[in-house]
């Protein structure tokens, strides 16, 4: 299709900017700084050592991330540099040296990964802090016979036990009778008729987890703590964050903050080829009390639902359980670390595990967007796909994180360019430049504006093949990597601080994945595959928006529940939305249903995709929710783009040929000016025509910023220009081109 504009009102509710830029100057960027980007916009490269401080400037790197666990704890045996006899004191010297060459410094927060364990020291201090799972065991019987039950030796203790009558082949959940138990055994009598004894026990996660998978690589003990335990996470901070920061003078002016690496609930069996001995779900001692306070009924009354059941009662119980898990995890880890960092004038950030799959948002975090929302700088890592994967690759996973930044008014989003994940492994650690440029382009389009990397400059392996693709890990010359840093620095220099002009909000259907997800004994790809149909529904909804050139952000249920509504607009953080897309929802929170009623009454538009919810997340709210949605109808996903008008402001009136089948276009505001990001999706050069449609008061000129060359040029509309394969351009209409006011004051 040809990319063009419809008619709409300008973005509302305070989205305009106050800065005024002199005519002829793009934003606040000079030709010199665009050609030679300052370090703060270049790539932050992993490792801060005496060697990297000598080497990185030659490759155009702009910042560093320091991994200092080996200076703190040399018993790891992984020291990458000579401390000169200074031990941990070398940390301050290295940070000072990096700042002396104008490098931004981030601090890795742990001894290897995943974050949270301090190399096993948290558990070594207190073995009760070790992460555990809840598992369920069953004994069946008939009649009031004596039951003598002994817990298997590999389980830690009995948490709870209930005897249920069996009716119609199923346990009668509301007729359960609690059975008293010792730590590892219980004795009781059966019920009249058929019964089942359900024993809920704790299983210590000390094998076959992601935490054990990195022991050899980083020289740690592999003993992972309970991230929902606030005291355990306090000890994590005491063992890692505090001793690192103690070596740095004036940290608020010396470092950006701490960065975590894939902390998670650690409930997933991490080896393929065989199943774990038990189906596992998150558990912590505080959970039952927290659950009851949050949901006003006992968790113990619905424990079997964590493991089985497809009726509404079981599905609602799983939603409530995962919500409680997410809140505890968020408060214990994300909030506690952010508050600790902020008290010292620094930020918290980090990337997370398997963020492209919503089932893994639940499996690893209970609710990933909720967890991420309490970090100062949302971040993610992303694979670097091969050319034949570009079309179908889920770059849009970036938007979960840039949407959090908009929701929480934090702005920046970090992208780690990760050559290992995605099935490529260590055989392709230095992917070729076109692959890197494509990833930077598409990540930028979806909202990333800070880039990090651990790409090695030299190839570390001979030529190998992955899935039939020649890896060609040839490494990079200094000139190539400097070009890559400059290209990235030019992109981020323009887009950092820019805000997407999006009038459409896509609702995050996390509750449906919470309702589906059962405790599991499987390897994570198998778990993911069990919920692929629902994932496909989500993916197809996003694809319909992207293919339709719809500008959108992802909205968390809490954000919708708390939003301001005025004159047909829903204001959430930095964003404002006139249309909400609600994808494939069976149950809906009452607070969200109420907001949608108010939103539509004020003139907003709600589009239901696939189905309209049949009830609330609590049974007691079913009739109210149904009444609120009584006039709602659902559309098919292939009708979605056609049902949306004006997903961006009429201020953005440039149109482009070719359209979305070849060219990706992002529209942003920064400092009161429009920024168009154009990305060539083809693996060959592309001829692009751009037209403007202002009838009056228009200079008809735009500035073209080319991140490949560092050149800024002016062209008169209509214009035609060439874009290289895997390359991007940024267009900024000159100030005289705009007519009318931006936004609604």
Residue 468's pLDDT band (cuts 50, 70, 90): low
Tell me, what's the pLDDT at 464?
57
Residue 471's pLDDT band (cuts 50, 70, 90): low
What is the spatial distance between Cα 543 and Cα 549, in angstroms, rounded to a whole number? 10
Residue 459's pLDDT band (cuts 50, 70, 90): low
Q: Rounded to 10 degrees, what is the CA torsion of 710, 491, 387, 210?
A: 140
What is the spatial distance between Cα 101 and Cα 493, in angstroms, rounded to a whole number? 19
Residue 424's pLDDT band (cuts 50, 70, 90): confident
Q: What CATH topology corresponds to 104-127+217-275+308-498?
A: TIM Barrel (3.20.20)
What is the spatial distance between Cα 246 and Cα 243, in angstroms, rounded to a whole number? 5
Which residue intervals of 23-114 are DSSP H helices? Answer: 31-35, 50-55, 69-72, 90-100
Pairing of strands 157-167, 701-706: unpaired
Tell me, what's the pLDDT at 24?
43
Least confident range from 410-414, 468-472, 542-546, 609-613: namely 468-472
Tell me, what's the pLDDT at 22?
30
Helices (H) and strands (E) in the chain, counts: 24, 37
What does the pLDDT look like over 325-346, one tens digit per residue?
A: 999 999 999 999 999 999 999 9
Copy the structure tokens of residue 171. 């346990």
What is the sign of the dihedral through the CA atoms of 578, 584, 586 and 589? negative
- Contact status, residue 414 vs residue 452, Cβ threshold 8 Å: yes
Nearby residues of 328 by Cβ (< 8 Å), 6 or more positions away: 228, 284, 286, 287, 290
What does the pLDDT look like over 161-220, one tens digit per residue?
A: 999 999 999 999 999 999 999 999 999 999 999 999 999 999 999 999 999 999 999 999
The per-residue DSSP string of 385-428 comes to --GGGTTT--GGGHHHHHHHHHHTT----EEEE-SSTTTTGGGG
- Contact status, residue 571 vs residue 14, Cβ threshold 8 Å: yes
- Contact status, residue 346 vs residue 258, Cβ threshold 8 Å: yes
What does the pLDDT look like over 24-49, one tens digit per residue?
A: 446 789 999 999 999 999 999 999 99
Domain boundaries along the sequence of the chain: 31-35+651-737, 39-100, 104-127+217-275+308-498, 132-204, 504-643
As a whole number, the mean pLDDT across the chain is: 92
Say if residue 352's pLDDT is above 70: yes
Q: Summarize the confidence of residues 219-224 as an average pLDDT.
A: 96
Q: How many CB atoms lie within 10 A of CB 694?
A: 17
Instruction: Say which DSSP state 484 is in.
Output: H
Tell me, what's the pLDDT at 365?
98
Instruction: Say which DSSP state 309 is in.
Output: -
Tell me, what's the pLDDT at 26?
64
Least confident range from 231-235, 485-489, 717-721: namely 717-721
What is the spatial distance between Cα 378 and Cα 745, in angstroms, rounded to a whole number? 29
Nearby residues of 86 by Cβ (< 8 Å), 6 or more positions away: 93
Say if residue 681's pLDDT is above 90: no
What does the pLDDT look like over 474-507, one tens digit per residue?
A: 689 999 999 999 999 999 999 999 999 999 999 9
What does the pLDDT look like over 362-389, one tens digit per residue?
A: 999 999 999 999 999 999 999 999 998 9
What is the spatial distance between Cα 596 and Cα 628, in angstroms, rounded to a whole number? 8
What is the spatial distance between Cα 404 and Cα 402, in angstroms, rounded to a whole number? 5
What is the spatial distance between Cα 587 and Cα 625, in angstroms, rounded to a whole number? 9
Residue 5's pLDDT band (cuts 50, 70, 90): very low
Phi-psi region of 19 (alpha: psi -120 to 50; beta: other; left: phi over 0): beta
- pLDDT: which is higher, 593 or 460: 593
Tell me, what's the pLDDT at 74?
95
Instruction: Say which DSSP state 564 is in.
Output: E
Crossing angle for the helix pair 336-343 and 230-239, nearest 10 degrees?
40
Tell me, what's the pLDDT at 458?
83
- Contact status, residue 23 vs residue 736, Cβ threshold 8 Å: yes
Tell me, what's the pLDDT at 293?
98
Question: In degrees, to the nearest 5, what angle opens at C-alpha 64 toward C-alphas 61 and 70?
Answer: 140
Spatial CA neighbour of 356 closest among 373, 332, 380: 380
* Largest Cα–Cα separation, the chain: 91
Say if residue 591's pLDDT is above 70: yes
Tell me, what's the pLDDT at 27?
74
- Contact status, residue 728 vs residue 707, Cβ threshold 8 Å: yes
Tell me, what's the pLDDT at 280?
97
Tell me, what's the pLDDT at 79?
86
CATH architecture of 31-35+651-737: Sandwich (2.60)
What does the pLDDT look like over 99-151, one tens digit per residue?
A: 999 999 999 999 999 999 999 999 999 999 999 999 999 999 999 999 999 99
Copy the structure tokens of residue 96. 């000072």
Say if residue 695's pLDDT is above 90: no
The per-residue DSSP string of 662-726 comes to TEEEEEEEETTEEEEEEEE-SSS-EEEEEE----SS---EEEEEETTTTEEEEEESSEEEEE-TT
- Contact status, residue 641 vs residue 543, Cβ threshold 8 Å: no
Which residue intervals of 522-635 are DSSP H helices? Answer: 524-530, 532-547, 557-561, 590-601, 622-628
Say if residue 428's pLDDT is above 90: no
Tell me, what's the pLDDT at 8?
30
Q: What percentage of residues in the chain have a pLDDT greater than 70?
A: 92
Q: Summarize the confidence of residues 282-293 as an average pLDDT.
A: 98
Tell me, what's the pLDDT at 470?
58
Say if residue 23's pLDDT is above 80: no
What is the spatial distance between Cα 612 and Cα 575, in angstroms, rounded to a whole number? 25
Nearby residues of 389 by Cβ (< 8 Å), 6 or more positions away: none
């Amino acid at each position: 299709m040809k990319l063009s504009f419809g008619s709409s009102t300008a973005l509302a509710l305070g989205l305009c900017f106050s800065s005024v830029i002199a005519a002829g100057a793009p934003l606040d960027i000079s030709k010199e700084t665009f050609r030679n980007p300052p370090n703060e916009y270049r790539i932050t490269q992993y490792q801060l050592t005496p060697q990297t401080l000598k080497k990185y400037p030659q490759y155009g790197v702009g910042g560093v991330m320091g991994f200092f666990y080996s200076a703190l704890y040399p018993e790891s045996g992984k020291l990458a540099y000579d401390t000169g006899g200074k031990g941990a004191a070398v940390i301050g010297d290295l940070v000072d040296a990096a700042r002396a060459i104008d490098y931004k410094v981030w601090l890795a927060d742990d001894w290897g990964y995943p974050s949270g364990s301090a190399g096993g020291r948290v558990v070594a201090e207190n073995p009760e802090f070790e992460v555990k799972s809840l598992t369920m065991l069953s004994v069946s019987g008939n009649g009031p016979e004596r039951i003598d039950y002994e817990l298997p030796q590999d389980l830690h203790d009995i948490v709870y036990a209930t005897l249920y009558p069996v009716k119609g082949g199923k346990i009668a959940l509301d007729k359960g009778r609690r059975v008293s138990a010792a730590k590892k055994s219980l004795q009781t009598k059966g019920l009249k008729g058929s019964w089942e004894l359900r024993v809920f026990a704790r299983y210590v996660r000390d094998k076959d987890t992601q935490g054990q998978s990195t022991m050899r690589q980083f020289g740690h003990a592999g003993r992972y703590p309970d991230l929902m335990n606030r005291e355990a996470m306090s000890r994590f901070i005491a063992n890692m964050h505090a001793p690192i920061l103690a070596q740095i003078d004036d940290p608020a002016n010396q470092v950006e903050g701490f960065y975590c690496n894939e902390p998670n609930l650690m409930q997933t069996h991490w080896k393929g080829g065989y199943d774990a001995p038990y189906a596992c779900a998150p558990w912590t001692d505080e959970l039952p009390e927290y659950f009851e306070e949050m949901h006003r009924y006992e968790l113990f009354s619905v424990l079997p639902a964590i493991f089985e059941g497809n009726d509404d009662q079981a599905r609602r119980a799983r939603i409530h359980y995962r919500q409680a898990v997410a809140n505890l995890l968020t408060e214990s880890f994300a909030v506690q670390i952010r508050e600790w960092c902020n008290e010292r004038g620094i930020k918290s950030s980090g990337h997370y595990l398997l963020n492209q799959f919503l089932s893994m948002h639940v499996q690893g975090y209970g609710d990933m967007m909720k967890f991420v929302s309490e970090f100062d700088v949302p971040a993610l890592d992303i694979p670097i796909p091969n050319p034949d994967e570009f079309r179908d690759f889920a770059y849009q996973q970036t938007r979960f994180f840039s949407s959090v930044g908009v929701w929480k008014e934090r702005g920046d989003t970090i992208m780690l360019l990760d050559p290992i994940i995605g099935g490529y492994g260590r055989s392709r650690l230095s992917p070729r430049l076109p692959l890197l440029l494509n990833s930077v382009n598409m990540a930028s389009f979806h909202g990333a504006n800070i880039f990090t990397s651990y790409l090695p400059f030299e190839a570390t392996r001979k030529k190998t093949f992955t899935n039939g693709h020649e890896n060609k890990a040839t490494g990079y010359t200094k000139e190539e990597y400097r070009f890559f840093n400059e290209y990235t620095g030019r992109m981020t220099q323009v887009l950092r601080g820019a805000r997407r002009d999006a009038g459409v909000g896509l609702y995050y259907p996390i509750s449906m994945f919470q309702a589906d997800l059962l405790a599991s004994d499987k390897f994570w790809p198998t778990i993911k595959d069990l919920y692929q149909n629902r994932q496909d529904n989500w993916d197809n909804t996003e694809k319909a928006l992207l293919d339709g050139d719809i500008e959108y952000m992802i909205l968390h249920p809490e954000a919708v529940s708390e939003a301001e509504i005025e004159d047909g607009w829903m204001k959430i953080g930095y964003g404002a939305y006139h249309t909400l897309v609600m994808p494939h929802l069976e149950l809906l929170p009452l607070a969200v249903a109420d907001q949608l009623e108010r939103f539509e009454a004020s003139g907003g538009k709600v589009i239901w995709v696939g189905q309209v919810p049949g009830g609330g997340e609590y049974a007691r709210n079913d009739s109210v929710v149904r009444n609120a949605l009584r006039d709602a109808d659902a559309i098919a996903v292939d009708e979605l783009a056609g049902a949306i008008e004006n997903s961006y402001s009429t201020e953005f009136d440039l149109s482009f040929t070719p359209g979305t089948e070849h060219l990706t276009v992002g529209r942003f505001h920064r400092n009161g000016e429009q920024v168009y990001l154009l990305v060539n999706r083809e693996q060959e050069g592309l001829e692009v025509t751009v037209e403007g449609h202002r009838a009056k008061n228009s200079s008809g000129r735009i500035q073209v910023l080319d991140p490949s060359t560092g050149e800024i040029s002016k062209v008169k509309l209509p214009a035609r220009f060439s874009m290289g394969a895997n390359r991007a351009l940024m267009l900024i209409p000159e100030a005289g081109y705009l007519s009318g006011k931006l936004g609604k004051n």
